[in-house]
C-alpha cells in the first residue's frame, strides 16, 4: 500500500491541496498568503503550477509539467491544469459509448478542452472566468461594482444593477458551453472552483454532465500512482 502523498496545484488565485492515503483522497484549498498547512513535508510535496509561485520553497524535481503527461496530441504549451484534467477524465469517467470528453474548468479562466475517447486532444477555448469578468467590469467602468452576493437571478431581464451583472456574466459563460456541447456526441465534465455554481445553468442533460470539482487534483494523483506503477 502506498504511503501518504501530498499534492499542491498553484492556481492563479488560490492554492489547491490534495492528500492521498489508503486509497482515499481528500481535497482542500487555501489562500496564497496563508501558511503551509500542518503535516505537509515540502521536500516530498508533489506540485504543479499555473500561477505565481507562493512564498515557500518548492523542490523543482517534484514538479509535474505538461510534457510529463502521456496524452496524444498534447502540446507542451498547454497549461498543466488542462493536461491533468484531461488525464483524470480519461481514466475515471465511464464512457461506454466512446463519446468525446468536453472538459470545462471554471476558474480564474474558463478553459475548455476537448479530447476523444482514445485520449487525443482535439483543442479548446479560453475565456475570462466568473470573477475575472466581474472584476474587469468594475475596473473598466465608473459605476459598476462586483456584487457582494452571488445569487443567480431567475429572471432574464432585471432592473437591479448587481443582478443584471450577475445574470449577464453567468449567461456569457454558460452560453459558450451550451453552444459547443452536443449531448449526443459529448460527455461534459465540469470542474474548478465555480463549477457547482454553474451546473444549474447548463443544458438539462444530467446523464451527460458530470460535476467533478477536483478533477485536476485527481489527475495529479493518477499521474503519481502511474509513475509508481500502482495503477
Which pLDDT band holds residue 41 (cuts at 50, 70, 90)?
Answer: very high
Judge whether residue 2 has pLDDT over 70: no
Give the torsion sign (CA, 36, 41, 42, 46).
negative
Neighbours of 105 (CB within 10 A): 28
Which pLDDT band holds residue 95 (cuts at 50, 70, 90)?
Answer: very high
The pLDDT value given to residue 194:
85
Model confidence, pTM:
0.92
Closest C-alpha among 43, 59, 48, 46 to residue 20: 46
The pLDDT value given to residue 205:
57
Mark out the alpha helices in 99-214 (DSSP H runs). 130-140, 161-180, 195-198
Judge whether residue 1 has pLDDT over 50: no
460535476: which residue's cell?
211
- The tens digit of pLDDT for each residue in 164-219 reads 999 999 999 999 999 999 999 999 999 998 887 787 777 665 668 999 999 999 99
**Mean pLDDT score, 137-157:** 93
Q: Which three cell numbers stand for residue 210?
A: 458530470
The pLDDT value given to residue 197:
75
- The tens digit of pLDDT for each residue in 105-118 reads 999 999 999 999 99
The pLDDT value given to residue 206:
62
Average pLDDT over the chain, rounded to an integer: 93
Judged by DSSP in three states, 157 sits in coil
Amino acid at each position: 500500500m502506498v504511503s501518504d502523498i501530498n499534492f499542491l496545484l498553484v492556481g492563479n488565485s488560490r492554492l489547491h491541496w490534495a492528500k492521498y492515503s489508503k486509497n482515499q483522497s481528500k481535497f482542500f484549498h487555501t489562500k496564497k498568503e496563508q501558511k503551509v498547512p500542518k503535516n505537509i513535508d515540502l521536500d516530498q510535496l508533489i506540485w504543479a503550477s499555473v500561477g505565481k509561485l507562493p512564498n515557500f520553497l518548492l523542490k523543482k524535481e517534484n514538479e509535474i509539467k505538461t510534457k510529463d503527461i502521456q496524452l496524444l496530441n498534447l502540446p507542451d504549451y498547454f497549461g498543466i491544469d488542462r493536461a491533468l484534467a484531461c488525464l483524470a477524465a480519461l481514466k475515471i469517467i465511464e464512457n461506454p459509448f466512446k463519446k468525446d470528453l468536453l472538459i470545462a474548468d471554471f476558474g480564474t479562466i474558463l478553459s475548455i478542452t476537448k479530447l476523444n475517447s482514445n485520449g487525443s486532444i482535439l483543442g479548446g477555448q479560453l475565456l475570462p472566468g466568473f470573477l475575472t469578468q466581474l472584476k474587469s467590469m468594475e475596473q473598466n467602468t465608473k459605476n459598476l461594482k462586483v456584487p457582494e452576493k452571488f445569487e443567480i437571478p431567475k429572471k432574464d431581464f432585471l432592473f437591479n444593477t448587481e443582478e443584471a451583472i450577475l445574470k449577464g456574466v453567468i449567461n456569457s459563460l454558460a452560453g459558450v458551453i451550451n453552444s459547443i456541447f452536443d449531448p449526443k456526441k459529448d460527455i461534459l465534465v465540469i470542474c474548478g472552483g465555480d463549477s457547482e455554481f454553474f451546473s444549474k445553468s447548463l443544458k438539462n442533460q444530467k446523464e451527460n454532465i458530470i460535476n467533478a470539482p477536483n478533477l485536476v487534483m485527481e489527475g495529479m494523483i493518477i499521474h503519481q500512482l502511474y509513475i509508481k506503477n500502482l495503477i
